[in-house]
Amino acid sequence: MENSVNKPFFIQDENVAQYAQLMASWIAQQVKSAGRQGLVLGMSGGIDCSVVACLCRLAQVDVHLVMMPYGSDMNNSKSHQHAMELIQKFDFPFHVFDIQSAVDALAIHQEQFVAEATAANRALSLANIRPRVRMTYLYQFAQLGSRFVIGTGNMAEATVGYFTKWGDGAYDLNPLATVTKQEVYTLAKYLGVPESIQYKSPSAGLWEGQTDEDELGMTYAQIDGFILKGTSGNPVIDELIRKRIQQSAHKFAAVPTFKG
């Protein structure tokens, strides 16, 4: 398949077994070469983290899945149920840490700052605390066991900057960084991810009822099309993607430092 970016492979039904094994071998090598004891993975009950968990299993690397609900949000969205389906099917070790008290303690409530902010910035400033707290929990847990934190963000999310800086965008290795969303679904089917996870609407769990595609204003299929063909098929969406790429460039750039 031709594509408009520097992507040397595309995972399809006919080669998924080959690439799943290559990715698993890469994961195992990353852990071994760094002298780590295993991996820690944030488990939301979504398809990306489920695929990465299964790749770690294929790699025969010790991986601990960590669920970090904000109060009852994972139960309300069935994310806990879906995560447990995967955990029980493959017998993954798992842990649950409720982050609500930590998140609430970090939130700024001074009326002056809140009143001066736009509604969108108020909502996002609170929502983004959650992935940053989760990152902190993952790294402490990883440090306790001499492990690496493994990332789960895919190429479609990275293209439009759909991740939280210093939150779910922080990890030690990521097997899905150059994998489109469609490829994630292909891997999920091959790896035996439960169908309840494969067929649900992707969500970052930032707030109740939130879905990725509603928040983005575009579908993952459209983003994949833009990545592989240079267009989503809709000029309006193409322009929106370009705008998001420009707005999120700071997430990928090296931190500016004064050099005299």
The structural domains of the chain, ordered by start, are 16-211 (3.40.50.620)
CA distance 94 to 63: 9
CA distance 244 to 189: 30
pLDDT, one tens digit for every residue, the chain (260 residues): 344 466 889 999 999 999 999 999 999 999 999 999 999 999 999 999 999 999 999 999 999 999 999 999 998 888 999 999 999 999 999 999 999 999 999 999 888 888 888 998 998 899 999 999 999 999 999 999 999 999 999 999 999 999 999 999 999 999 999 999 999 999 999 999 999 999 988 766 555 666 788 889 999 999 999 999 999 999 999 999 999 999 999 999 999 999 99
Rounded to two decimals, the pTM is: 0.92
